[in-house]
Structure 1
Amino acid sequence: MFHHEDPSALIEATFRRIETERMTGLPFLNPRLRIAAVGFARHENDWRGALLTPWGIQLLLLPAVADWPVPSPLERAFRQYPAGTFAFLPNHEEGLGDYLACPLISDMQPFADQETALATARACLIALDIPPVRSEAQPAAPVSDGRRRFLGLDG
């Protein structure tokens, strides 16, 4: 199953069901937070966005094409973004189909409200597309005597 249009509403409905059926009463849930699909947009063959739940923030990828490759269970899939390489695990939920998930934040207790958690999820998505800053002014790490000997640089 692939998604022709933004899957946000389907994601939210699926994870509300998961919250009700599997997560109710667990002590690590933040009761101030609600399920939200954040910033889902098409990126090549994926629908990419963040999923905010009372138990975490995850980066989700869902298929935007029919021949979307799904790794076998417990096999990680990797995606390269300007910020770096991210590892995803495959999942499947009835009504949603196959998707890949990369946990970003697992302790939601520090979030005081939904607005702060939403802003954090949006910031995570923005950060994916920003390459790391590398300053030319930063000095190289000093070479230790042991490294000098190992590299044959001590004379």
Structure 2
Amino acid sequence: MFSEDPGARIEEVFRRIQEERMAGLPFINPALSVAAVGFARHGADWRGVLLTPWGIQLLLLPAVADWPVPPLLTRAFRQYPAGTFAFLPNHEKELGDYLACPLISDMHPFADQQTALATARACLIALDIPPVRSEAQPAAPASDGRRRFLGLDG
């Protein structure tokens, strides 16, 4: 459980992961570095975006002692204005339990850290914006939240 913003701890843990486990892997964008973006408390969760040279993920960490952690490989769902998002449980020794929802997995299109940070911030902002629908456009099923959020619904 984190009583204060876990952003600095997240960055420390994922920088170590970058150095120890991800070094030299072909899907790493060397122009990017680890950053915890916009972590704020939302009910029982600390919510924010993790930017790494290998992806952008929406992370949830515990803000309360009795934070429920689903069994390994079991998705947990959270509803936001942009839709319903599926998270998978993870655990790092120095961080504890957390939930992760991958948003972007190919980081090679990002030329620099500033562009990647702007994208991470935009992802966090977009999470709290409901989709705009015309009267002629039917509502998409709630399970398509991540696809709508990323603009992949056609």
Q: Secondary structure at the match of 2:84?
A: strand
| Inter-partner Cα distance in structure 1 for 2:22 and 2:50 | 15
1:72 is matched with 71
Map 1:109-148 onto structure 2 (within 5 A).
109-136=108-135, 138=136
Identity %: 80
* Superposed displacement of residue 135, structure 1: 1.1
1:144 is matched with none
* Superposed displacement of residue 95, structure 1: 1.1
* Superposed displacement of residue 87, structure 1: 0.2
Q: Secondary structure at the match of 1:119?
A: helix
| Aligned-residue RMSD, C-alpha | 0.9
Pair 1:107 & 2:129 matched: no
What amino acid maps onto 2:21 in structure 1?
Answer: R
Map 1:1-150 onto structure 2 (within 5 A).
2-136=1-135, 138=136
Q: Secondary structure at the match of 1:115?
A: helix
| Inter-partner Cα distance in structure 2 for 1:120 and 1:139 | 27
Runs (4+) of structure 1 exceeding 4 A deviation are: none
TM-score, scaled to structure 1: 0.87
- Report Cα offsets for 1:20-73 as digits up to 9, x if no partner: 110000011000000000000000000000000000000000000000000000
- For structure 2, which runs of at least 5 residues remain unmatched after alignment? 139-154
| Inter-partner Cα distance in structure 2 for 1:9 and 1:131 | 30
Kindly tell me: are residues 30 and 69 of structure 1, through their superposed partners in 2, closer, same or farther at Cα, counting changes over 3 Å? same
- Report Cα offsets for 1:80-108 as digits up to 9, x if no partner: 00000000000000110000000000000
| Inter-partner Cα distance in structure 1 for 2:60 and 2:52 | 16
| Inter-partner Cα distance in structure 2 for 1:131 and 1:60 | 20
| Inter-partner Cα distance in structure 1 for 2:137 and 2:131 | 17
| Inter-partner Cα distance in structure 2 for 1:95 and 1:103 | 21
| Inter-partner Cα distance in structure 2 for 1:33 and 1:25 | 14
